[in-house]
Amino acid sequence: MPQTISEGLAQFDGLVAEVMAEWQIPGVAMAVIRGEDPPLLRCWGLRDVDAGAAVAPDTVFPICSVTKSFTATALALLVDEGRLDWDMPVRAVLPEFRLCDPVATEQASLRDLLTHRTGLPRHDLVHMDGHLDNAGILAALRHLAPSKPFRGGWQYNNLMYFVAGLVLERVSGERWDDFIRTRILLPLGMERATTSLEDMLARHPDRAVGYAVLDGEQRRMPVRLIYARPAGSICASIAEMAAWMRFHLDPVPGRDGLRLSPAAATELTAPQIYIGRSDFAEIGAVHYGFGFFVGHYRGARSIDHNGGPWFGYNCDLRLLPEHGSGVMVLTNGHDPGCAPLTNTVLDHLLGLEPLPWLERFRGARAGRRDPASQDRAVRVEARHDAAPSHTLADYADEYAHPAYGKVRITCDGEALRWAGLGLDLPMIHRHDDVFETVPERMPWFGNWSVQFAARVGGHIESLAVSLEPAVAPIVFRRRR
């Protein structure tokens, strides 16, 4: 690596331009940390395409799931104070906590929540549309099917970080938002950072605007709120995230009054559960700690977490603790173009010849279809030899699931329409009692196949839809 970070990245502009063009990313902000050198902050492109406004070091972006490292760190502060134990059953703090699996209900600990090993798959649509408050989300957990045995493997789960946030609130007596602000953000000088996208909208008109490529066209995304806040709702600038990176490169001496004990710092970044092997030999085996992925990069121990994609935002945080260095990239593009940039910076920080990461990720991307885009392009024709068993009006009514909420099916005489989970979508008949939603031009949502079922006597009594691919279709019962 040359004498200064900036010298080592002098040729970086060309790579950034290629990545932004490849993934149609409007703006990029980057922080590079090496030892006690001042952080290198670089910005490219636009935070708002319509306004022609450039990204700056203080432009605020959602950091999405990088928030998990803040929640885990906040809990570590309580462990250090003797107010929590990593292996204490959750129900010792939250007696109302219940999962579908009775063994998981009684034995699940904070360690299980933070390492994604409760047996529960994502079930993200339970919290994504905001139909439940915090108490409602907690009560809904008992109605969600697991897809693995308790402690039977790693399954990424935002809901369990939401529960971890409730544990923090119950023990500390403070709202998660307030604890994060007073105990972490303010001590690190992260005064512009917010703990919700609502606050980002209210406080920062100069924030980054999210964009996504839909059907080949770059589109401005409406801000979609994140209701499971401890899992993904913090928003911050790249200048502020440099302070967070520097803290976690050496959290024991700490920064500005924020510090962790050696035991707590070790637990956060220890490999708690095996995930699998990376597609790239230079990375190898990947584990999860508390709020961080843990592994190696070209022989150097690494801790990291990505954030997104979330309706026009993406980011990637990568740290090399033994080298006292790291990099973070924030973008306002939905497609994940961060890794070619962060990996290339790590090559420079390690003093190694940069690998052709752009070509590698470009090749991997070319071999992977975009299910949502492909679904949007499909035009499903009704099969005239398999007509619906009922008139369309017979399907129209309100259906409910105790966790996923209510869905209303309406009929205009010629077609059905789905209203639920925050979406209002037309439906196309496929065959028999199977219909298909036609998604909005939005990321995350593809075509859903909706299977209606009738009871004896012919009355339509339920609909089933695969909202969580890891388990059987979710069944909504007719309300009357």
206 shares a domain with 159? yes
Backbone angles phi, psi at 174, to 5 degrees: -120, 155
**Shared-domain flag, residues 177 and 287:** yes
Residue with tokens 């409406």: 222
335 and 418 assigned to the same domain: no
Tell me if the bond preceding 309 is cis, omega within 30° of 0: yes
pLDDT reported for residue 457? 74
Predicted confidence at residue 455, as pLDDT, reads 87
Phi, psi for residue 121 in degrees, rounded to 5: -75, -170
Nearest to 164 by CA among 193, 190, 134: 134
How are the residues of the chain apportioned to helix, strand and coil, as percentages rounded to the nearest 5?
30, 25, 45
Kindly state whether residue 130 falls inside one of the protein's structural domains.
no
- Is the CB of residue 35 less than 8 Å from the CB of residue 325? yes
* Residue 399, domain member (yes or no): yes
The strand pairing partners of 61, in sequence order, are 236
The answer to whether position 301 is within a domain reads yes
CA angle 144, 149, 152 (to 5 degrees): 125
Residue 123's pLDDT is what?
A: 97
Q: Do 343 and 448 share a domain, yes or no?
A: no
Report yes or no on 105 lying in a domain.
no
Last-in-domain residue among 368, 402, 424: 368
Same domain assignment for residues 320 and 188: yes
Judge whether 129 and 405 are in contact, CB under 8 Å: yes
Assess contact for 252 and 261: CB atoms under 8 A: yes
88 lies in some domain: no
Q: Is residue 405 part of a domain?
A: yes
> Is there a single domain that holds both residue 215 and residue 345?
yes
Closest-CA residue to 318 (of 288, 334, 299, 338) = 338
Q: What is the pLDDT along the chain (480 residues), one digit of tens a residue?
A: 344 556 667 779 999 999 999 999 999 999 999 999 999 999 999 999 999 999 999 999 999 999 999 999 999 999 999 999 999 999 999 999 999 999 999 999 999 999 999 999 999 999 998 999 999 999 999 999 999 999 999 999 999 999 999 999 999 999 999 999 999 999 999 999 999 999 999 999 999 999 999 888 899 999 999 999 999 999 999 999 999 999 999 999 987 789 999 999 999 999 999 999 999 999 999 999 999 999 999 999 999 999 999 999 999 999 999 999 999 999 999 988 999 999 999 999 999 999 999 999 987 766 555 544 444 444 444 444 589 999 999 999 999 999 999 999 999 988 999 999 988 999 999 999 999 998 776 676 778 999 999 987 789 999 999 999 999 999 999 987
Residues 416 and 335 in one domain: no
Q: Tell whether 177 is covered by a domain.
A: yes
Strand partners, 45: 27
Identify the pLDDT of residue 25. 97
Paired with 426 in beta bridges are 417
**Count of beta carbons in the 10 Å neighbourhood of residue 136:** 13
Amino acid at 272: Q
One domain for residues 200 and 278: yes
Q: Where are the alpha helices (DSSP H) in 225-302?
A: 229-232, 238-249, 262-269
Shared domain for 399 and 308, answered yes or no, is no
Residue 116 within any structural domain of the chain: no
Which of 348, 368, 388 lies at the terminal end of a domain, its last residue? 368
Determine the distance from the C-alpha atom of residue 429 to the mean position of all C-alpha atoms in its chain, rounded to a whole number.
33
Tokens representing 272 are 């708690």
The pLDDT value recorded for residue 7 is 66
Decide which of 368, 389, 422 is a domain's last residue.
Answer: 368
Report how far apart the first and last C-alpha atoms of the chain are (Å, whole number): 69
Q: What is the pTM of this model?
A: 0.94
Does 296 share its domain with 405?
A: no
- Say yes or no: 340 and 383 in one domain: no
**295 & 176 share domain:** yes
Q: Are strands 273-277 and 285-288 parallel, antiparallel or unpaired?
A: antiparallel
CATH number of the domain where residue 321 is located: 3.40.710.10
pLDDT at 306: 97
Helix and strand numbers, DSSP H then E, in the chain: 16, 21
What is the tally of structural domains in the chain? Answer: 2
Q: Assign residue 427 the CATH number of its domain.
A: 2.40.128.50
* Domain boundaries, position 262: 5-81+154-368
Q: What is residue 182's DSSP assignment?
A: I
